[in-house]
Amino acid sequence: MTLDFTPILPFMIVAGAALALLVLDLFWPVRLKWLTPLLAAASLLAALVVELGQANYLRAGLSNMVIIDNFSVFANAIFICSGIAAIALAYDYIQRTGINHGEYYVLMLFSISGMLLMSTAADLIIVFLALELLSVPLYVLTGFARPRLDSEEAALKYFLLGAFSSGVLLYGIALLYGATSYTSLHGILSAVSRGTADMPLVVVGAAFLLVGVAFKGGVVPFHMWAPDVYQGAPTSVTGFMSVGAKAAGFVALLRIFVVAFPPVAVELTSVMNFLASLTMLIGNIAAIGQRNIKRMLAYSGIAQAGYMLMAFVPFGNKAIINDSVASMIFYLAVYAIASFGAWAVVVAVEQAEGRGLDIDDYAGLGRRYPLLGVAMLIFMLSFIGLPPTLGFWGKFYLFRSVIEGNYIVLALVGMLASLISAYYYLRVVVMMFLHDGANITVRRNWLLSGLVGVSALAVLLLGLMPGPLFQMAADALLRL
C-alpha cells in the first residue's frame, strides 16, 4: 500500500492554484483583477510541463487508486490546453457582458482539476469523485450570467439532470461492488476473469455506469440537457463545456470499459452500436432545424459524440481495440481544436445585448471580415470531415476502425450522418459569403484573434501532416 502522489501532481497544481486564487482575488484591487486569469493560465502551463514530463512513465499511487500512463498524459494534455483556450475565450467576453468576477476562473480551474483526476482514475470511487469535481463548478458557471433568466434556467436544468446521472452512476458502482467485492477496475476484471463475480449483476452495473458517463458525453438519449444548457450558458462557458465535459466523459468511458469490462463486451456491443447510430442520426437531423448558432453547435456536439462512440463499439475485440481506441482519442483532439476555433468566432460575433447568435446574423460576415470568415469555413469543413482539414483524418481513422471490426452497417450510418451534417454546416458558410445582412461589428482582441488563427492553422497544417498527432494517440495506448 502506497500513498505516492506523483500520478496526481498536475491535479494538485491546478487545484492548489484554484484555492490560492480564490483567496487572493478577494484582496486584489480592481486594477489588478487581470492577474487572476494570468495566474490561472500560468498554473495550467505549469501543470502541462509536469504532465509532459511524465510521458512514457507508468506508476500507481494512492493505494493503487490512481495511475499515470501514456493515456492519462495524452488526455490531460487535451484538458489543460482546453483550459488555456477557455481562458482566452473568456477574458474579453466576461468583461463586456458584465460577469467579470474572479470566481469564474477559480471555478474553471476546479472543473479542470476534476478532469485531470478522471483520466488517472483506477478505481470507481475516484471516478465518481472526479466526475462531481468537474461537474459542480460547471453547474455554477452555467448560471454565471445571473440575473439572466435563460442562464439561471440552464443552470437549474443542468444541475437536476446532472444530479440524476450522478445517482445512476453511483448506483452502478454499488451494484458492481456487490457483484465483485471490488471498486478498483483491475479488481473487477480479476473477479470476472476468475468466475467469482455475479455476472448478471456485473452487466447491469456496467449498464448503469454507461448511462452515467454517457450523460456527460451528450450521447442520445441522454442528451436533452445539451441544447438548452448550451444556449442559456455564457458562450465562453459553452465553449469550454462542449470540449472539456465531453472529453472527460469519453476518457472515463475508455478507462472504465477497456480496463474492467472486456469480458462483458458481447452483452454491451449491441447497445454501443445502437447508441452510436442513434446519436449520430438524431444529432445531425435535429441540427438542421436550428436557427440559433449555439443550439446548432450543441446538436453538432451530440453528433460528434456519436462518431466517437462508433469507434468504441468493438471494445472487446483484442485484435482491433488498439486502433479503435487510438482513433477515438485522436478524434477527441481533432474535435477540441476545431471546436474551440468555432466557439471563438461565435464569441467574436456575439453582441453585448445578446444579438449575433442567430445564423442569419452571420450574413455577409465573410465579406466584411474575410479572415474570420475563412477561419469559420475551415472549422465547418473539419466538422463535416472534408479534406484537407484535420477532421477528414479524424473520420477516416474512425471509419477504418469500424470497418476493420466488420461493422459495415454502422460505418454506412456514420457516412449518411456526415452527409446530413454537410447541409447545416455549409448553410453557415453560404450565409457568410453569399448573403448580405445586418452590419454587425465583430469584437477584436488579440486573445480571440490568436485563438481563431492558431486553431485554423492547426486544422489545416495537421490536416496535411496528421501522422505525428495520430502516433501520439497510438502511443497513448501502450499502457492503457
Which residues contact residue 448 at a Cβ distance below 8 angstroms, ignoring those fewer than 6 apart? Answer: 88, 89, 92, 344, 347, 348
- Assess if residue 419 is contained within a domain: yes
- Assess if residue 446 is contained within a domain: yes
Residue type for position 438: A
pLDDT of residue 316: 64
- Number of domain units in the chain: 1
pLDDT of residue 110: 95
Among 110, 211, 219, CA closest to 164: 211
Among 214, 294, 205, 200, CA closest to 250: 214
pLDDT of residue 480: 45
CB 296 within 8 A of CB 359: yes
Burial of 410-427, coded b for 16+ CB within 10 Å and e otherwise, reads bbebbeebbebbbebbeb
Q: Go through the chain and tell me how many residues it has.
A: 480
Q: Which residue has the cell 490512481?
A: 66
pLDDT of residue 352: 67
pLDDT of residue 374: 93
Q: Is the peptide bond before 37 cis (omega within 30 degrees of 0)?
A: no
Query: What whole-number distance in Å separates Cα of residue 432 and Cα of residue 435?
Result: 6
pLDDT of residue 2: 59
- Mean pLDDT, consecutive 10-residue stretches, the chain (480 aa), reads 76 93 85 86 93 81 84 90 92 85 90 92 91 92 84 89 90 92 88 84 89 85 86 90 88 84 78 90 92 91 90 72 83 92 90 76 86 92 91 91 87 92 92 79 82 92 90 71
- Assess if residue 427 is contained within a domain: yes
- Assess if residue 299 is contained within a domain: yes
Q: Which residue has the cell 453569399?
A: 434
Q: How far is CA 463 from the centre of its chain?
A: 20
Query: What whole-number distance in Å separates Cα of residue 285 and Cα of residue 435?
Result: 24
Supply the range of the domain harboring residue 322: 285-480
- Assess if residue 257 is contained within a domain: no
Burial class (CB in 10 A: 0-12, 13-18, 19+), 435: middle
- Assess if residue 110 is contained within a domain: no
- Assess if residue 36 is contained within a domain: no
pTM for the full predicted model: 0.92
Residue type for position 269: T
